Amino acid sequence: MTAEPIILSSSRLGAEPADHEAQPEAHACACGHEDIEKIVLDSRTIPHAIRHATIFGALGAIQPGFALDLIASHNPLPLLGQLESTRPGQFLISYLENGPETWTIRLTRAN
Question: For all residues of the chain together, what is the average pLDDT?
Answer: 80
State mean pLDDT over 56-81. 95
Q: Is the pLDDT of residue 49 over 60?
A: yes
**Distance (Å, rounded) from C-alpha 1 to C-alpha 25?**
31
What pLDDT score does 36 carry?
58
Report the range of poorest mean pLDDT among 10-19, 50-59, 65-74. Answer: 10-19
What pLDDT score does 111 carry?
75
Q: Is the pLDDT of residue 107 over 50?
A: yes
Q: Is the pLDDT of residue 22 over 50?
A: no
Record the pTM.
0.67
DSSP H or E segment with residue 8: none
Q: At what angle do helices 51-60 and 77-86 cross, to 10 degrees?
A: 50
pLDDT band at 40 (very low <50, low <70, confident <90, very high): very high
**Distance (Å, rounded) from C-alpha 1 to C-alpha 3?**
7
